[in-house]
């Protein structure tokens, strides 16, 4: 029984390790804020959304569109999706309602499995009923196929057969085992057998009993506790296989519910996020997605949802036309909205890759083949290596993993050394990456580097600058424009340190 | 040639080896760890005494080399390994039979022990006959085996064992358990119920789940319920069990003494080769050294410290090999260079090389031509004893004096960072005095020191230097090279280190 709400042909694989730079992405893009909004306190939704998003760094058009369709269905019937999600939780609770599990006793394992299965089949019947009612209301392939699967696999006939088995498994006529002699002449290969059902009227049964193979019967005396234990151990050897088969089936059915819950959890998370952003009157749109090779990246009203979710003030949005651009170099004043823009671009790309809506009025972009961040770390916890050493080490790890058509976001990288060295290093690295087919988006203060790229000014380069009005105020918006020579840090400094500077300047 | 021992010229020599203590150089050279790694997997065979017994008999060493070379052929090794496994199983079964309580159970274990024994010998003999055995030792053992296996007594044992096993395998019965009643009868083809259940629930399969089958402990012993069942099974099959009684009575003593000794001694070779295999798989070389009792000039190519290599391979590290040569009048290797540069490792590697050669084993090197020393002396700096500096210097000198007294011109002496507890001037003075004495005695030696001056002391000393990677001074290469002592420093080239220069990136990121 498959769920396939996230991929057309497979379920979400939670054992797949996340890319090794996932932790950097979470930190640099402030992904946790977005995940918390998706989770609304449901840890399971949080973890699931985190996994789905981070395992979509390399995605394909088909999967993105498949999920977009399912998500559109969900946005149309949010209540139904939440009901389904609750059912999966109910199914998982059945395990807790059953008696305590004692892993060393097959007959107890068997008893418990029968208990849980009775509860699970009750939920499966409910699920069948919903599928019967709602199949027609869905448009997406994912949800329609899920309904069809439930109707197919849980036929009335099959459900009846299960019930009969559950009755028989109480073994009211005793247990029949076969065995052979193993090492040291101890019994081995204990196999549970189904006694041939006696045929005919009672008197012929009585007669045929006499004709059976010769048998020797003995009884365990009432006071012989060790004997009784030994006997139940033998019985357990016979029940071991069937107890295992049943317990495993129980777990399979539970894991079907877990799977269903997980895949629904992602969409429940999307519903939550959509509600949170809508509540703040912020726009959302389904992006138009192009193949990676097309190098498309055009947007209107793109904003940073992480900032929007934590801040009550007005949110700055950016427009941009970066189709065909491989290097986007962002310069300009400190605290001018550069990092926020970089994050909004990264988050939008992440959500797009995951098949979600994006925080923008309009968003047209190519899929990317991997998303990487290299942000300047303000402090290095491990003093083992120097700062530049640490930065280069991280960059080298990225170079190991990066492929053509990946998107790399750099935020003040190589600022840990002097400008000349930093610029030279950055130029060598970025030039090689761009030539390799990587799209690089770089926020930098390295003037020498910016000047050098501006002089080269190749068509695949785009220069953005933090906007500053004539009176010196920042708009936190980015505009197209080549780097300016003067640093903006000076005026920031002048303002913050105004009083100190005055005192210093006063003669005598 | 009459077969006596696969390790020694005769069985008395083997007897004497049993009492040998751990040689003094073991701890400094980390031979203790090596021998422990080798012998631990085969603890039951008590192999350590064999490794505590260096040889000075070139013919016996050749005898061992031959056996070892035979065992290097994978088929020969596999055959003897399989033989050992069979025999170990047999010993286990014998012990079981003696421990257990119910008669039919004891008897069955005894039967299985004898069965293992027969199989072990037949398989080994047939195998050896077909394989290209060249060593004197294994050839003699094979002819011993062939005589033994064709003896009428062995043939009868074998035939009876087979017949009895077959009869017991045919036993198939049913138990019906209801309440406190157990009925034992013959099996009559009833259908498998577990399979049915499994098929019904198959459609819910979702990848791998936990295995809920309980590991019901299979006690070797029987409880009285099982014994009662077995007794009734015996009643269902009376003639088979009568036969079993008789068999065990007649075959109480069946194990041959020479075969038992061979079984233990051959483990020396198997254990050593098994240990080697892990290194060889990682491309590290071993060779049969060319040995001499007269010619002191020695040389080895690509030797390495086995104990360290063991650690490094476990952690996925790279093992560095080194070469050295003492030609003509050259006697002492003086090793200098930066800290953590692999000097001590090099000294150990040389020591291990000589010791392992004296066991008649292949040694960790690509090629080696060695003098066979009468003894190996070591004196390594001990970090834990620094509390009293004057005491330490004195202790150093006392120990060196003892070594110099005991050593003969045929000895090997390995010194590591001695005299570090005094001034440079004093250390130099003392070292020169000691070196002068070593050279006068004409012993072979390795000396790790921070004193560059020793390296060029005379024609008899050879200077070896632990190298540093010019591209990255932070990284040690652990290579020790024959060159004049010096103290090099290197500039940091970080981008190069992380392979992030334009040139490097062109390779890493093809356009």
Read off the pLDDT of residues A69-86 as tens digits, 9 standing for 90 and up.
999 999 999 999 999 999
Q: Which two tokens stand for residue B365?
A: 């090197």
Please indicate whether, in this complex, the C-beta atoms of B194 and A241 are within 8 angstroms of each other: yes
Q: How many Cβ pairs within 8 Å bridge chains A and B?
A: 243
Task: Sort out which chain A residues have CB atoms less than 8 A from B200's CB and list them.
Answer: 161-162, 165
Share of chain A above pLDDT 70, in %: 87
Instruction: Choose the closest CB to A235 out of B177, B210, B232.
Output: B177
Q: Are A457 and A326 in contact (CB under 8 A)?
A: no
Give the pLDDT band (50/70/90) at residue B386: very low
Beta-sheet pairing, A215-219 with B181-186 = antiparallel
Please indicate whether, in this complex, the C-beta atoms of A395 and B168 are within 8 angstroms of each other: no
Is a pLDDT exceeding 70 seen at residue B369?
yes
**DSSP tag of A332:** -
**Closest CA of chain B from A419, distance in Å:** 15
Task: Sort out which chain A residues have CB atoms less than 8 A from B233's CB and list them.
Answer: 181
Task: Sort out which chain A residues have CB atoms less than 8 A from B175's CB and list them.
Answer: 176-179, 187, 234, 238
According to the model, what pLDDT value does residue B491 have? 27
Is a pLDDT exceeding 70 seen at residue B366?
yes
Please indicate whether, in this complex, the C-beta atoms of B222 and A219 are within 8 angstroms of each other: no
Is a pLDDT exceeding 80 seen at residue A499?
no
Q: How far apart are CA B258 and CA B278, in angstroms?
A: 31
Q: Which helix (H) or strand (E) holds B467?
A: strand B461-468
Instruction: Choose the closest CB to B204 out of A183, A253, A392.
Output: A253
Please indicate whether, in this complex, the C-beta atoms of B176 and A388 are within 8 angstroms of each other: no
Residues with Cβ within 8 Å of residue B394, at least 6 apart in sequence: none
Give the tens place of pLDDT for each residue, B248-289.
Answer: 999 988 888 889 999 999 999 999 999 999 999 999 999 999
**Closest CA of chain B from A365, distance in Å:** 23
Nearest CA in chain A to B510: A436
* A417 strand-pairing partners: none
Q: Give me the half-sphere count of Cα atoms (radius 13 Å) on the Cβ side of residue B506.
A: 3
Instruction: Choose the closest CB to B498 out of A219, A396, A435.
Output: A396
Give the tens place of pLDDT for each residue, A332-361.
Answer: 876 778 889 999 999 999 999 999 999 999
Q: Best residue in A158, A166, A186, A392 to probe B by mutation, most B CBs within 10 Å?
A: A186
Q: Are B219 and B96 in contact (CB under 8 A)?
A: no
- Average the pLDDT over B26-55 and give the result: 94
> Which of B 168-227 lie inside 8 A of A, CB atoms?
168-169, 171-188, 190-194, 196-198, 200-201, 203-207, 209-214, 216, 218, 220, 222-226
For residue A280, CA distances in Å to A37, A270, A351, B170 come to 12, 16, 19, 80
Q: Best residue in A118, A185, A435 to probe B by mutation, most B CBs within 10 Å?
A: A185
Please indicate whether, in this complex, the C-beta atoms of A218 and B175 are within 8 angstroms of each other: no
Nearest CA in chain B to A400: B508
Please indicate whether, in this complex, the C-beta atoms of B505 and A429 are within 8 angstroms of each other: yes
Q: Does A160 touch chain B (CB under 8 A)?
A: no
Q: Does A185 touch chain B (CB under 8 A)?
A: yes
Q: Which helix (H) or strand (E) holds A411?
A: strand A407-411
At A88, phi and psi to the nearest 5?
-65, -35
Nearest CA in chain B to A175: B177
- Average the pLDDT over B459-471 and give the result: 81
Task: Sort out which chain A residues have CB atoms less than 8 A from B212's CB and list them.
Answer: 103, 109, 243-244, 247-248, 251
Q: Are A272 and A251 in contact (CB under 8 A)?
A: no
Share of chain A above pLDDT 90, in %: 51
- Average the pLDDT over B110-138 and give the result: 95
Is a pLDDT exceeding 50 seen at residue A97?
yes
According to the model, what pLDDT value does residue B457 have? 86
- Average the pLDDT over A474-485 and give the result: 79
**When comparing pLDDT for B493 and A199, which is higher?**
B493
Please indicate whether, in this complex, the C-beta atoms of A428 and B500 are within 8 angstroms of each other: yes
Closest CA to A438 of B503, B504, B508: B508
Please indicate whether, in this complex, the C-beta atoms of A194 and B190 are within 8 angstroms of each other: yes
Give the pLDDT band (50/70/90) at residue B10: confident
Is a pLDDT exceeding 70 seen at residue B328?
yes
**What are the percentages of helix, strand and coil residues in chain B, rounded to 5?**
55, 15, 35
Q: How far apart are CA B148 and CA A359, in angstroms?
A: 87
Beta-sheet pairing, B476-482 with A362-366 = unpaired
Is a pLDDT exceeding 90 seen at residue B494?
no
Give the pLDDT band (50/70/90) at residue B380: confident
Give the tens place of pLDDT for each residue, B215-247.
Answer: 877 777 888 999 999 999 999 999 999 999 999
Give the pLDDT band (50/70/90) at residue A435: very high
Q: Best residue in A102, A184, A231 to probe B by mutation, most B CBs within 10 Å?
A: A184
- Average the pLDDT over A430-457 and give the result: 90
Q: How far apart are CA A404 and CA A295, in angstroms?
A: 11
Q: Does A384 touch chain B (CB under 8 A)?
A: no
Q: How far apart are CA B479 and CA B336, in angstroms?
A: 12
Q: Which two tokens stand for residue B116?
A: 């293992």
Where do the H-state alpha helices sit in A295-337?
A: 305-310
- Average the pLDDT over B87-94 and give the result: 94
According to the model, what pLDDT value does residue B45 have? 94
Q: Does B253 touch chain A (CB under 8 A)?
A: no
Q: How far apart are CA B482 and CA B324, in angstroms?
A: 7
Q: Are A261 and A44 in contact (CB under 8 A)?
A: yes
Q: Best residue in B233, B509, B510, B511 to probe A by mutation, most A CBs within 10 Å?
A: B509
Give the tens place of pLDDT for each residue, A246-286.
Answer: 888 888 888 889 999 999 999 999 999 999 999 999 999 99
Give the pLDDT band (50/70/90) at residue B490: very low
Q: Are A218 and B226 in contact (CB under 8 A)?
A: no
At A189, phi and psi to the nearest 5?
55, 40
Q: Does A218 touch chain B (CB under 8 A)?
A: yes
Give the pLDDT band (50/70/90) at residue B127: very high
Instruction: Choose the closest CB to A183 out of B107, B112, B194.
Output: B112
- Average the pLDDT over A38-43 and give the result: 96
Give the tens place of pLDDT for each residue, A317-335.
Answer: 999 999 999 999 998 876 7
- In order of their start, the domains of chain A are 22-169+251-279 (no CATH), 288-505 (3.40.50.300)
Nearest CA in chain A to B505: A432
> Which of A 163-182 lie inside 8 A of B, CB atoms?
165, 169, 173-181
Instruction: Write down the mean pLDDT value for chain A.
Output: 85
Is a pLDDT exceeding 50 seen at residue B492?
no
Please indicate whether, in this complex, the C-beta atoms of A245 and B506 are within 8 angstroms of each other: no
Give the tens place of pLDDT for each residue, A376-386.
Answer: 875 443 333 45
Q: How far apart are CA B433 and CA B411, in angstroms?
A: 19
Please indicate whether, in this complex, the C-beta atoms of B214 and A103 are within 8 angstroms of each other: yes
At B186, phi and psi to the nearest 5?
-70, 145
Please indicate whether, in this complex, the C-beta atoms of B506 and A259 are within 8 angstroms of each other: no
Residues with Cβ within 8 Å of residue B8, at least 6 apart in sequence: B14, B17, B60
Q: Are A151 and A128 in contact (CB under 8 A)?
A: yes
According to the model, what pLDDT value does residue A430 have? 95
Nearest CA in chain B to A414: B495
Residue whose tokens read 């395998």: B169
Give the pLDDT band (50/70/90) at residue A417: low
Task: Sort out which chain A residues have CB atoms less than 8 A from B494's CB and list them.
Answer: 388-389, 392
Q: What ipTM did this prediction achieve?
A: 0.71
B298: helix, strand or coil: strand
Q: How far apart are CA B461 and CA B326, in angstroms?
A: 9
Q: Which two tokens stand for residue B443?
A: 């012993």
Q: Are B466 and B343 in contact (CB under 8 A)?
A: yes
Give the tens place of pLDDT for each residue, A163-214.
Answer: 888 888 888 788 899 999 988 898 988 999 987 654 444 454 444 444 455 6
Give the tens place of pLDDT for each residue, B176-223.
Answer: 998 899 999 999 888 888 888 888 888 777 777 778 888 877 777 888
Beta-sheet pairing, B367-371 with B332-336 = unpaired
- Average the pLDDT over A208-223 and give the result: 74
> Which of B 469-498 lie inside 8 A of A, CB atoms?
494-495, 497-498
């Amino acid at each position: 029984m498959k769920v396939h709400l996230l991929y057309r042909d497979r379920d979400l694989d939670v054992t797949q390790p996340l890319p090794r730079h996932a932790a950097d992405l979470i930190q640099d893009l402030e992904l946790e804020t977005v995940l918390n909004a998706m989770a609304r306190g449901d840890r399971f939704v949080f973890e699931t959304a985190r996994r789905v998003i981070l395992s979509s760094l390399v995605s394909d058009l088909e999967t993105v569109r498949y999920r977009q369709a399912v998500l559109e269905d969900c946005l149309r019937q949010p209540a139904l999706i939440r009901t389904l999600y609750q059912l999966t939780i109910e199914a998982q609770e059945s395990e807790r309602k059953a008696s305590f599990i004692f892993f060393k006793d097959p007959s107890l394992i068997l008893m418990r499995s029968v208990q849980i299965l009775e509860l699970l089949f009750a939920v499966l019947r409910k699920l069948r009923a919903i599928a019967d009612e709602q199949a027609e209301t869905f448009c997406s392939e994912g949800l329609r196929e899920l309904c069809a699967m439930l109707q197919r696999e849980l036929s009335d006939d099959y459900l009846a057969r299960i019930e009969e088995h559950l009755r028989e498994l109480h073994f009211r006529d005793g247990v029949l085992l076969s065995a052979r002699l193993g090492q040291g002449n101890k019994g081995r290969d204990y196999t549970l057998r189904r006694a041939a059902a006696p045929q005919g009227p009672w008197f012929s049964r009585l007669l045929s009993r006499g004709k059976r193979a010769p048998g020797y019967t003995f009884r365990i005396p009432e006071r012989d506790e060790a004997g009784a234990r030994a006997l139940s151990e033998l019985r357990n050897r016979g029940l071991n296989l069937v107890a295992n088969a049943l317990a495993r089936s129980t777990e399979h059915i539970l894991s079907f519910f877990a799977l269903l819950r997980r895949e629904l959890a992602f969409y429940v998370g999307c519903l939550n996020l959509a509600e949170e952003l809508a509540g703040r009157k912020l726009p959302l749109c389904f992006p138009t997605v192009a193949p990676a090779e097309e190098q498309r990246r055009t947007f209107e009203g793109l904003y940073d949802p992480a900032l929007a979710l934590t801040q009550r003030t007005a949110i700055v949005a950016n427009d941009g036309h970066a189709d065909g651009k491989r290097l986007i170099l962002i310069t300009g004043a400190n605290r001018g909205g550069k990092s926020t823009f970089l994050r909004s671009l990264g988050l939008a790309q992440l959500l797009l890759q995951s098949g979600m809506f994006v925080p923008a009025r309009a968003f047209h972009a190519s899929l990317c083949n991997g998303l990487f961040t290299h942000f300047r770390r303000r402090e290095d916890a491990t003093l083992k290596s120097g700062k530049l050493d640490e930065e280069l080490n991280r960059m080298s790890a990225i170079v190991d993993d990066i492929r053509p058509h990946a998107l790399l976001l750099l935020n003040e990288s190589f600022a840990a050394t002097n400008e000349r060295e930093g610029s030279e290093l950055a130029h060598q690295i970025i030039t090689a990456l761009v030539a390799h087919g990587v799209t690089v988006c770089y926020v930098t203060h390295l003037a020498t580097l910016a000047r050098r790229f501006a002089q080269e000014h190749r068509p695949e380069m785009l220069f953005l600058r933090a906007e500053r009005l004539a009176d010196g105020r920042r708009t936190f918006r980015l505009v197209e424009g080549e780097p300016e020579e003067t640093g903006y840090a000076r005026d920031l400094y002048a303002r913050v340190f105004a009083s100190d500077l005055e005192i210093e300047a006063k003669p005598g | 040639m009459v077969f006596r021992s696969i390790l020694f010229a005769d069985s008395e020599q083997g007897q004497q080896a049993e009492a040998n203590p751990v040689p003094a150089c073991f701890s400094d050279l980390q031979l203790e760890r090596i021998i422990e790694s080798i012998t631990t997997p085969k603890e039951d065979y008590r192999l350590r005494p064999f490794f505590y017994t260096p040889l000075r008999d070139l013919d016996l060493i050749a005898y061992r080399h031959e056996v070892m070379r035979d065992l290097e052929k994978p088929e020969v090794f596999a055959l003897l390994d399989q033989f050992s496994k069979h025999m170990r199983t047999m010993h286990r079964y014998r012990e079981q039979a003696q421990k257990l309580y119910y008669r039919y159970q004891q008897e069955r274990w005894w039967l299985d022990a004898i069965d293992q024994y027969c199989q072990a010998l037949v398989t080994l003999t047939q195998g050896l006959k077909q394989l290209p055995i060249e060593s004197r030792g294994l050839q003699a053992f094979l002819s011993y085996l062939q005589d033994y296996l064709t003896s009428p007594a062995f043939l009868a044992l074998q035939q009876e064992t087979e017949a009895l096993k077959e009869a017991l395998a045919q036993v198939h019965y049913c138990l019906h358990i209801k309440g406190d009643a157990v009925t034992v009868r013959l099996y009559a083809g009833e259908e498998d119920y577990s399979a049915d259940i499994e098929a019904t629930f198959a459609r819910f399969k979702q990848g791998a789940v936990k295995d809920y089958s309980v590991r019901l402990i299979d006690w070797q012993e029987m409880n009285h319920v099982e014994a009662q069942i077995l007794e009734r099974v015996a009643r269902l099959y009376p003639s088979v069990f009568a036969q079993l009684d008789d068999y065990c009575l007649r075959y109480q003593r069946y194990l041959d003494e020479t075969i038992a000794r061979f079984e233990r001694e051959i483990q020396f070779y198997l254990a050593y080769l098994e240990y080697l295999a892990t290194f060889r798989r990682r491309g590290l070389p071993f060779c049969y050294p060319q040995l001499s009792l007269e010619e002191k000039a020695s040389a080895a190519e690509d030797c390495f410290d086995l104990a360290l290599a063991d650690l490094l391979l476990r952690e996925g590290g790279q093992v560095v090999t080194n070469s050295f040569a003492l030609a003509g009048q050259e006697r002492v290797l003086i090793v200098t260079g930066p800290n953590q540069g692999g000097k001590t490792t090099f000294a150990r590697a040389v020591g291990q090389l000589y010791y392992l050669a004296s066991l008649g084993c292949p040694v960790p090197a690509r090629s080696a031509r060695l003098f066979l020393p009468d003894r190996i002396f070591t004196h390594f700096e001990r970090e834990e004893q620094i509390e009293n500096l004057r005491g330490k210097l004195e202790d150093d000198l006392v120990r060196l004096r003892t070594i110099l007294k005991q050593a003969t011109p045929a000895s090997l002496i390995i010194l590591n960072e001695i005299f570090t507890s005094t001034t440079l001037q004093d250390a130099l003075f003392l070292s020169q005095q000691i070196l002068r004495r070593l050279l006068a005695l004409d012993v072979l030696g390795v000396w790790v020191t921070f004193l560059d001056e020793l390296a060029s002391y005379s024609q008899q000393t050879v200077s070896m230097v632990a190298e540093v990677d010019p591209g990255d001074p932070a990284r040690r290469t652990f290579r020790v090279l024959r060159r004049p002592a010096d103290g090099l420093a290197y500039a940091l080239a970080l981008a190069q280190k992380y392979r992030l220069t334009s040139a490097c990136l062109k390779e890493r990121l093809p356009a």
